[in-house]
Structure 1
Amino acid sequence: MKTNKERILELKTNGYKISFENVFNLAFENYKKIAVYAGLLFLVTTVFLGIISVLIIAFTYGIANFQDLIKPENLDPKNFSDEFLMIYIASVTLFSCLASPFLAGFIKMAHCAEIDEEFHVSTAFEYYKFSYFKELFVATLTLSLLNMGIASVLEATGIPALSFIGSLTVTLLSILTVPLIIFSDFKVFEAINTSFNLVLKQPLILLGLLIVAYLFLLTGVFMFFIGLFFTMPFLYSTYYAVYKSIIGFE
């Protein structure tokens, strides 16, 4: 029996065939199994982190300064200093890196649902083990820097659409990076390179799946915004379905 890495090597050389309909159906059926549980976990975690963030900012700047900081006129990006923007970008990037193992846990949750294995809150935090955490942290940091670099270069052309297309391209090409790390034990750059290589074998189908996943996610905004927390798991079910359909498991 071939290992995952042996099969992946063959896929990189010979390519593969996938069906949009089959992958979407797998993602949607899987999503229905985790939607409520994962949605509630997203909601509770976001509220908790939001409260902690507000308290930290309030005590850092002082209550009076914090109230002044959140006035609408002070939230206009045009009024932000270069120093503030740098701190903001660095903070968002750091948060994304720290949160990446948590989000990877939802892909694992989707896997558990697929094989009828019980999952718990601890499943979402499973990849904070150091062996996985460092790979996911560096992978997220690398892709974030790559994304920002490409977006900045394309934005300099004066055509905003190019910057968006650049960001979308990086997101699409890296769709398999996290699953390769958590399911196939790939290292950071091996996972990124393999993801790019495999996605380029079937870019249009995978782009269609990614767009549908984001459109589905955005429907949550129209459900009093809180629905976003319950449509979000579909994105991670899609990541899982793509990995399972292309690579599978031993």
Structure 2
Amino acid sequence: MNHINKRLSEIRQNGFELDLGNLINESFENYKKIALLAGLALTIVILTLMIAAIYGMSYFVDFENFKQEQFVLDFNTFTPMQIAMYIGASAFFAMFFAPFTAGLIKIAHDVETKDEVSFSNIFDCYKAAYLKDLMLSSFIIALFTSGIAVGFQMLHLEFVGTILNYVIGFLSCLTIPLIVFGRLNAVDAIVNSIMVVTKQPLIIFLALLLAIIGVFLGLIAFCLGIFFTLPYLYSMYYAIYKNSIGFEE
């Protein structure tokens, strides 16, 4: 904790330097080491969650009399209870998925520091001491983003809501690494993620944008291809954390 607190204090006072080229090179080298393991895990987990999501959506959509326009939820037709359930379900979904996301970022670190990494290591964060902070931070963020999405959709300003949620996602992108590697609590991790990102917003934005473009190149290989390019995004999260906050030597 002394290292992370000292480093965050330095960043708060003096900022830090980031090189986009180094981020790309380091993240790609890391990606090559985790692509197979992480891609397999993502394939299994995301397909399972998609089935669960379709089942959950059956509460809001009548699939027996489904029409194409029903695919976009109109929250103005929802009761307050249904809106609360939707926002709550979205937040709980993000909360329980967070340890898996953390595991993908952690394994990006493990392949650099350990001699052997197994498939089961991706799920280590579900039994970690910081599990509650991972889940709480994701619950808080998802509660805000879901509420914003619903509110602006009801005002017919979906684009504004989408932009705001992208900004929140961008500013909070280091929350999980700060919990996993820095052992910060949920609120401190969110606050310090915002602080760190705003010190180098352009470089971090470009790095994540390039990573997302790289991920969607998986669409060229059709459906399953994206599951094996998606790990590159987590390698980029790791590279950004490593080059901005770093680890105690």
RMSD value, Cα: 2.9
* One-letter amino acid of the structure 1 residue matched with residue 18 of structure 2: I
Contact 2:91–2:146 under 8 Å retained in 1? no
Deviation for aligned residue 1:129: 2.2
Is the aligned partner of 1:111 residue 2:106? no
Which stretch has the larger CA shift, 190-199 or 77-86?
A: 77-86
| 1:142-161 equivalent positions in 2, closer than 5 A | 142-151=140-149, 160-161=158-159
Q: 1:238 maps to what in 2?
A: 236
Match of 1:120 among 118, 121, 125: 118
C-alpha spacing 1:193/1:225, structure 2 compared with 1 (3 Å): same
For residue 222 of structure 1, report the CA deviation from its aligned partner.
3.1
Corresponding residue pairs, total = 243
Give 2:78's match in structure 1, choosing from 74, 82, 91: 82
* Rounded Cα–Cα distance in structure 1 between residues aligned with 2:146 and 2:48: 28
2:199 to 198, 201, 216: 201
Partners of 2:176 and 2:118 in 1: CA distance: 20
Unaligned runs of 5+ in 1: none
Q: Distance in 1 between matches of 2:208 and 2:74?
A: 34
Q: 8 Å contact 1:135–1:187 — kept in the other structure?
A: yes
CA contact 2:172–2:194 (8 Å) conserved in 1: yes
Q: TM-score, normalised by structure 2?
A: 0.85
Match of 1:133 in 2: 131
**Who is 1:24 aligned against?**
24
Pick aligned residue for 1:212 from 210, 226, 229: 210
Can you list the C-alpha shifts for 1:155-183, whole angstroms capped at 9, x where unaligned? 67755443332112111111111000000
Match of 2:64 among 48, 68, 78: 68
1:170-217 superposed Cα distances (whole Å, 9 cap, x missing partner): 111111110000001000111111111111111011111111121122
Partner of 1:184, secondary structure, is coil
Distance 1:98 1:12 in 2: 31
Deviations 1:42-70, CA, capped at 9 Å, x for gaps: 1122334455666x669x98xxx98616x
Distance 1:201 1:154, change over 3 A: farther
Residues 149 and 249 of structure 1, relative CA distance in 2, 3 Å threshold: same
The Cα shift of 1:11 comes to 1.3
Seen in structure 2, the aligned counterparts of structure 1 residues 174 and 67 have a Cα distance that, compared at 3 Å, is: closer
CA contact (8 A) 1:31 1:237 kept: yes
Which letter maps to 1:68? E
Q: Does the Cα contact within 8 Å between 1:109 and 1:123 map onto a contact in 2?
A: yes
Match of 2:190 in 1: 192
**SS of residue paired to 1:185:** coil
Q: Which runs of 5+ in 2 are unaligned?
A: none
Q: Distance in 2 between matches of 1:139 and 1:57?
A: 23
> Deviation at 1:146?
2.5
**Alignment check: 8 A CA contact 2:88 2:143 kept:** no
User: Scaled by the length of structure 1, what TM-score is found?
Assistant: 0.84
Task: Tell me how far apart the structure 2 counterparts of residues 138 and 171 of structure 1 sit (CA, whole Å).
Answer: 15
Partner of 2:3: 3
Map of 2:221 onto structure 1: 223
Question: What residue identity is the alignment partner of 1:169?
Answer: V
Match of 1:33 in 2: 33
- For residues 38-49 of structure 1, the aligned pairs below 5 Å read 38-49=38-49
